[in-house]
Protein backbone atom coordinates (compact mmCIF):
# COMPACT_ATOMS: atom_id res chain seq x y z
CA UNK A 1 0.00 0.00 0.00
CA UNK A 2 1.42 3.37 -0.99
CA UNK A 3 2.12 6.17 1.47
CA UNK A 4 -0.44 8.39 -0.26
CA UNK A 5 -3.15 5.77 0.11
CA UNK A 6 -2.25 5.29 3.76
CA UNK A 7 -2.43 9.04 4.31
CA UNK A 8 -5.83 9.26 2.67
CA UNK A 9 -7.12 6.35 4.76
CA UNK A 10 -5.80 8.01 7.90
CA UNK A 11 -7.58 11.23 7.02
CA UNK A 12 -10.80 9.32 6.37
CA UNK A 13 -10.67 7.54 9.71
CA UNK A 14 -9.46 10.34 11.96
CA UNK A 15 -11.33 13.49 11.09
CA UNK A 16 -13.12 16.03 13.27
CA UNK A 17 -16.38 15.22 11.43
CA UNK A 18 -16.17 11.60 12.55
CA UNK A 19 -15.32 12.65 16.10
CA UNK A 20 -18.26 15.03 16.21
CA UNK A 21 -20.51 12.23 14.96
CA UNK A 22 -19.42 10.04 17.87
CA UNK A 23 -19.96 12.92 20.26
CA UNK A 24 -23.44 13.60 18.88
CA UNK A 25 -24.42 9.96 19.24
CA UNK A 26 -23.26 9.92 22.87
CA UNK A 27 -25.00 13.22 23.63
CA UNK A 28 -28.25 11.96 22.11
CA UNK A 29 -27.97 8.82 24.23
CA UNK A 30 -27.40 10.86 27.39
CA UNK A 31 -23.89 9.49 27.90
CA UNK A 32 -22.17 12.85 27.37
CA UNK A 33 -23.10 16.53 27.55
CA UNK A 34 -22.24 19.10 24.89
CA UNK A 35 -19.69 20.50 27.31
CA UNK A 36 -18.11 17.05 27.66
CA UNK A 37 -17.83 16.74 23.88
CA UNK A 38 -16.14 20.13 23.58
CA UNK A 39 -13.69 19.26 26.36
CA UNK A 40 -12.85 15.87 24.87
CA UNK A 41 -12.41 17.31 21.38
CA UNK A 42 -10.11 20.06 22.63
CA UNK A 43 -8.02 17.50 24.52
CA UNK A 44 -7.92 15.24 21.44
CA UNK A 45 -6.84 18.08 19.15
CA UNK A 46 -4.16 19.28 21.56
CA UNK A 47 -2.67 15.80 22.01
CA UNK A 48 -3.18 14.46 18.50
CA UNK A 49 -5.56 11.75 19.75
CA UNK A 50 -8.72 10.15 18.48
CA UNK A 51 -11.92 11.40 20.07
CA UNK A 52 -12.66 8.05 21.74
CA UNK A 53 -9.17 7.62 23.15
CA UNK A 54 -9.27 11.17 24.49
CA UNK A 55 -12.61 10.52 26.16
CA UNK A 56 -11.27 7.42 27.87
CA UNK A 57 -8.11 9.27 28.92
CA UNK A 58 -10.27 11.97 30.54
CA UNK A 59 -12.39 9.26 32.18
CA UNK A 60 -15.50 10.63 30.51
CA UNK A 61 -15.98 7.53 28.35
CA UNK A 62 -15.72 3.79 28.90
CA UNK A 63 -15.00 1.08 26.34
CA UNK A 64 -18.70 0.21 26.54
CA UNK A 65 -19.60 3.79 25.58
CA UNK A 66 -17.30 3.55 22.56
CA UNK A 67 -18.73 0.19 21.47
CA UNK A 68 -22.20 1.69 21.77
CA UNK A 69 -21.35 4.79 19.72
CA UNK A 70 -19.43 2.90 17.04
CA UNK A 71 -22.27 0.42 16.77
CA UNK A 72 -24.71 3.26 16.13
CA UNK A 73 -22.35 4.97 13.71
CA UNK A 74 -21.91 1.86 11.60
CA UNK A 75 -25.50 0.57 11.99
CA UNK A 76 -24.22 -2.12 14.36
CA UNK A 77 -26.25 -1.61 17.54
CA UNK A 78 -24.92 -2.80 20.87
CA UNK A 79 -27.46 -3.77 23.49
CA UNK A 80 -27.43 -2.69 27.14
CA UNK A 81 -26.71 -5.63 29.43
CA UNK A 82 -26.84 -6.54 33.08
CA UNK A 83 -29.43 -5.13 35.51
CA UNK A 84 -31.89 -3.01 33.61
CA UNK A 85 -30.44 -4.05 30.24
CA UNK A 86 -31.96 -6.03 27.39
CA UNK A 87 -29.64 -9.03 27.74
CA UNK A 88 -27.64 -10.76 30.44
CA UNK A 89 -23.82 -10.60 30.37
CA UNK A 90 -23.81 -14.08 28.77
CA UNK A 91 -24.91 -12.64 25.42
CA UNK A 92 -21.51 -11.03 24.93
CA UNK A 93 -21.86 -10.60 21.16
CA UNK A 94 -24.71 -8.16 21.81
CA UNK A 95 -22.65 -5.64 23.77
CA UNK A 96 -18.95 -6.36 23.10
CA UNK A 97 -18.71 -6.77 19.31
CA UNK A 98 -14.95 -6.16 19.40
CA UNK A 99 -14.25 -8.98 21.87
CA UNK A 100 -12.36 -12.15 20.95
CA UNK A 101 -15.47 -14.19 21.72
CA UNK A 102 -17.59 -12.14 19.32
CA UNK A 103 -14.94 -12.41 16.61
CA UNK A 104 -14.82 -16.21 16.99
CA UNK A 105 -18.61 -16.36 16.71
CA UNK A 106 -18.53 -14.21 13.58
CA UNK A 107 -16.07 -16.72 12.12
CA UNK A 108 -18.54 -19.52 12.83
CA UNK A 109 -21.32 -17.42 11.29
CA UNK A 110 -19.27 -16.84 8.13
CA UNK A 111 -18.49 -20.53 7.73
CA UNK A 112 -22.16 -21.39 8.18
CA UNK A 113 -23.19 -18.86 5.53
CA UNK A 114 -20.64 -20.22 3.05
CA UNK A 115 -20.93 -23.94 3.77
CA UNK A 116 -24.59 -24.23 4.78
CA UNK A 117 -26.95 -21.26 4.39
CA UNK A 118 -26.01 -20.42 0.80
CA UNK A 119 -26.80 -23.98 -0.30
CA UNK A 120 -29.44 -25.18 2.20
CA UNK A 121 -32.93 -26.07 1.05
CA UNK A 122 -34.12 -24.82 4.42
CA UNK A 123 -32.73 -21.97 6.53
CA UNK A 124 -33.30 -23.71 9.87
CA UNK A 125 -30.49 -24.94 12.11
CA UNK A 126 -30.71 -26.88 15.38
CA UNK A 127 -27.88 -26.50 17.91
CA UNK A 128 -27.33 -29.93 19.45
CA UNK A 129 -25.00 -31.35 22.11
CA UNK A 130 -24.97 -34.40 24.39
CA UNK A 131 -25.34 -33.02 27.91
CA UNK A 132 -26.08 -30.18 30.27
CA UNK A 133 -23.29 -27.67 30.64
CA UNK A 134 -22.07 -27.92 27.03
CA UNK A 135 -23.15 -24.32 26.41
CA UNK A 136 -25.90 -24.85 23.83
CA UNK A 137 -28.13 -22.00 25.01
CA UNK A 138 -25.18 -19.60 25.33
CA UNK A 139 -23.94 -20.54 21.86
CA UNK A 140 -27.38 -20.36 20.21
CA UNK A 141 -28.06 -16.93 21.74
CA UNK A 142 -24.74 -15.47 20.62
CA UNK A 143 -24.84 -17.08 17.17
CA UNK A 144 -28.35 -15.74 16.54
CA UNK A 145 -27.20 -12.29 17.64
CA UNK A 146 -24.22 -12.47 15.28
CA UNK A 147 -26.49 -13.34 12.35
CA UNK A 148 -28.79 -10.43 13.18
CA UNK A 149 -25.82 -8.06 13.42
CA UNK A 150 -24.92 -9.07 9.86
CA UNK A 151 -28.33 -7.80 8.75
CA UNK A 152 -30.02 -11.19 8.55
CA UNK A 153 -33.61 -11.30 9.79
CA UNK A 154 -33.03 -13.91 12.49
CA UNK A 155 -35.36 -15.99 14.66
CA UNK A 156 -34.10 -17.79 17.77
CA UNK A 157 -36.45 -20.52 19.03
CA UNK A 158 -36.06 -22.03 22.48
CA UNK A 159 -37.25 -25.59 21.90
CA UNK A 160 -35.93 -26.82 25.24
CA UNK A 161 -39.28 -27.18 26.97
CA UNK A 162 -37.67 -28.92 29.93
CA UNK A 163 -35.07 -26.43 31.19
CA UNK A 164 -35.24 -23.37 28.92
CA UNK A 165 -32.84 -20.42 29.14
CA UNK A 166 -33.41 -18.05 26.25
CA UNK A 167 -36.11 -16.07 28.06
CA UNK A 168 -33.57 -15.41 30.82
CA UNK A 169 -30.72 -14.52 28.46
CA UNK A 170 -32.87 -12.03 26.51
CA UNK A 171 -35.12 -11.01 29.39
CA UNK A 172 -38.37 -11.74 27.60
CA UNK A 173 -41.65 -12.88 29.13
CA UNK A 174 -42.08 -16.63 28.81
CA UNK A 175 -45.81 -16.73 29.51
CA UNK A 176 -46.49 -17.25 25.81
CA UNK A 177 -43.94 -19.24 23.88
CA UNK A 178 -43.37 -22.32 21.78
CA UNK A 179 -45.60 -24.55 23.92
CA UNK A 180 -48.56 -22.19 23.41
CA UNK A 181 -47.77 -21.91 19.70
CA UNK A 182 -47.80 -25.69 19.24
CA UNK A 183 -51.11 -26.09 21.06
CA UNK A 184 -52.84 -23.32 19.14
CA UNK A 185 -53.08 -20.93 22.09
CA UNK A 186 -50.85 -18.26 20.55
CA UNK A 187 -49.69 -16.98 17.19
CA UNK A 188 -46.90 -14.95 15.66
CA UNK A 189 -46.95 -12.57 18.65
CA UNK A 190 -44.79 -15.14 20.45
CA UNK A 191 -41.81 -13.89 18.39
CA UNK A 192 -40.46 -10.85 20.27
CA UNK A 193 -38.10 -8.40 18.65
CA UNK A 194 -35.21 -7.72 21.01
CA UNK A 195 -34.24 -4.23 19.77
CA UNK A 196 -35.74 -1.95 17.09
CA UNK A 197 -32.35 -1.59 15.34
CA UNK A 198 -31.52 -5.31 15.41
CA UNK A 199 -33.35 -7.85 13.28
CA UNK A 200 -33.36 -10.44 16.06
CA UNK A 201 -36.55 -12.13 17.27
CA UNK A 202 -36.86 -14.67 20.08
CA UNK A 203 -39.53 -17.25 20.80
CA UNK A 204 -39.29 -18.43 24.40
CA UNK A 205 -40.14 -22.00 25.35
CA UNK A 206 -43.21 -20.80 27.21
CA UNK A 207 -45.05 -22.61 29.99
CA UNK A 208 -43.40 -26.01 30.43
CA UNK A 209 -45.75 -28.75 29.18
CA UNK A 210 -46.01 -32.25 30.65
CA UNK A 211 -45.46 -33.74 27.17
CA UNK A 212 -42.73 -31.78 25.34
CA UNK A 213 -41.62 -34.64 23.10
CA UNK A 214 -45.19 -35.33 21.95
CA UNK A 215 -45.68 -31.64 21.10
CA UNK A 216 -42.48 -31.59 19.07
CA UNK A 217 -43.41 -34.78 17.21
CA UNK A 218 -46.78 -33.44 16.07
CA UNK A 219 -47.16 -31.96 12.56
CA UNK A 220 -47.84 -28.55 14.13
CA UNK A 221 -44.13 -28.05 14.84
CA UNK A 222 -43.18 -28.55 11.21
CA UNK A 223 -46.01 -26.24 10.12
CA UNK A 224 -44.69 -23.56 12.47
CA UNK A 225 -41.14 -23.95 11.16
CA UNK A 226 -42.33 -23.76 7.55
CA UNK A 227 -44.22 -20.53 8.19
CA UNK A 228 -41.34 -18.87 9.99
CA UNK A 229 -38.79 -20.14 7.45
CA UNK A 230 -40.61 -18.07 4.83
CA UNK A 231 -40.49 -14.95 7.01
CA UNK A 232 -36.89 -15.07 8.27
CA UNK A 233 -33.44 -15.33 6.69
CA UNK A 234 -32.19 -17.78 9.29
CA UNK A 235 -33.69 -19.70 12.20
CA UNK A 236 -31.58 -20.98 15.11
CA UNK A 237 -33.13 -23.56 17.45
CA UNK A 238 -31.91 -24.21 20.98
CA UNK A 239 -32.46 -27.84 22.02
CA UNK A 240 -32.38 -29.98 25.18
CA UNK A 241 -29.37 -32.26 25.74
CA UNK A 242 -29.52 -35.25 23.41
CA UNK A 243 -28.58 -37.70 26.19
CA UNK A 244 -31.56 -36.73 28.36
CA UNK A 245 -34.34 -37.43 25.83
CA UNK A 246 -35.09 -37.82 22.14
CA UNK A 247 -36.25 -34.18 21.92
CA UNK A 248 -33.08 -32.92 20.24
CA UNK A 249 -33.21 -35.67 17.63
CA UNK A 250 -36.86 -34.85 16.86
CA UNK A 251 -36.15 -31.11 16.66
CA UNK A 252 -33.14 -31.57 14.40
CA UNK A 253 -35.10 -33.90 12.11
CA UNK A 254 -37.82 -31.25 11.75
CA UNK A 255 -35.22 -28.53 11.18
CA UNK A 256 -33.31 -30.59 8.64
CA UNK A 257 -29.85 -29.39 9.67
CA UNK A 258 -27.88 -29.42 12.90
CA UNK A 259 -24.67 -28.00 14.30
CA UNK A 260 -23.07 -30.22 16.94
CA UNK A 261 -21.52 -28.51 19.95
CA UNK A 262 -18.93 -29.91 22.35
CA UNK A 263 -17.38 -28.14 25.30
CA UNK A 264 -13.65 -28.40 25.82
CA UNK A 265 -12.70 -30.48 28.89
CA UNK A 266 -16.36 -31.27 29.50
CA UNK A 267 -17.98 -33.16 26.63
CA UNK A 268 -16.64 -36.69 26.23
CA UNK A 269 -16.08 -38.51 22.97
CA UNK A 270 -18.20 -41.39 24.24
CA UNK A 271 -21.12 -38.98 24.63
CA UNK A 272 -20.51 -37.14 21.37
CA UNK A 273 -20.39 -40.14 19.03
CA UNK A 274 -23.93 -41.44 19.72
CA UNK A 275 -25.27 -37.89 19.46
CA UNK A 276 -23.86 -37.49 15.95
CA UNK A 277 -24.94 -40.99 14.97
CA UNK A 278 -28.52 -40.40 16.13
CA UNK A 279 -28.69 -37.30 13.94
CA UNK A 280 -27.33 -39.16 10.92
CA UNK A 281 -29.79 -42.00 11.53
CA UNK A 282 -32.59 -39.42 11.42
CA UNK A 283 -31.37 -38.14 8.03
CA UNK A 284 -30.31 -34.81 9.56
CA UNK A 285 -27.64 -32.85 7.71
CA UNK A 286 -24.85 -32.31 10.23
CA UNK A 287 -23.32 -29.09 8.92
CA UNK A 288 -20.35 -29.16 11.27
CA UNK A 289 -19.15 -29.22 14.84
CA UNK A 290 -17.88 -26.53 17.19
CA UNK A 291 -15.72 -26.80 20.29
CA UNK A 292 -16.98 -24.32 22.87
CA UNK A 293 -14.34 -22.72 25.06
CA UNK A 294 -16.44 -19.91 26.49
CA UNK A 295 -20.09 -20.22 27.55
* Cα-based distances in Å from 33 to 21, 27, 110, 247: 14, 5, 39, 53
Q: What's the Rg (C-alpha) of the chain?
A: 22
Task: Please state, in angstroms and rounded to a whole number, the distance separating the CA atoms of residues 233 and 258.
Answer: 16
Residue 242, CA atoms < 13 Å, CB-side half-sphere: 29
Q: Are 247 and 159 in contact (CB under 8 A)?
A: yes
Name the 3-class secondary structure at 287.
strand
Tally of CB atoms within 10 A around 256? 19
pTM: 0.80
Q: Could you list the pLDDT tens digit for every one of the 295 residues in the chain?
A: 333 333 333 333 333 334 447 888 899 889 999 999 999 999 999 998 888 889 999 999 887 787 777 777 666 778 888 888 999 999 999 998 888 999 999 999 999 999 999 989 999 999 999 999 999 999 999 999 999 999 999 999 999 999 999 999 999 999 999 999 999 988 888 999 999 989 999 999 999 999 999 999 999 999 999 999 999 999 999 999 999 899 999 999 999 999 999 999 999 999 999 999 999 999 999 999 999 998 6
How far, in Å, CA of 103 to CA of 140, rounded? 15
Q: Indicate the SS3 state at residue 176.
A: coil
Q: 92-292 — its CATH code?
A: 3.40.50.300
List beta partners, residue 288.
259
Q: What residue segments make up the domains of the chain, in order of their start?
A: 3-73, 92-292
Amino acid sequence: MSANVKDELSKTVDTPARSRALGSILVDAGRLTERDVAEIQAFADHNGMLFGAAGVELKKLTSEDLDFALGRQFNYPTLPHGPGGLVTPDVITAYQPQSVVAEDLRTVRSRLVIDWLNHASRNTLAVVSPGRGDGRSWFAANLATAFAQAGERTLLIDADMRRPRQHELFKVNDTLGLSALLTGRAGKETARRIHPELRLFVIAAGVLPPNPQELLTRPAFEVVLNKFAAQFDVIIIDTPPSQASADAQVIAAKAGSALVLARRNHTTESALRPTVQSLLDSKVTVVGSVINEYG
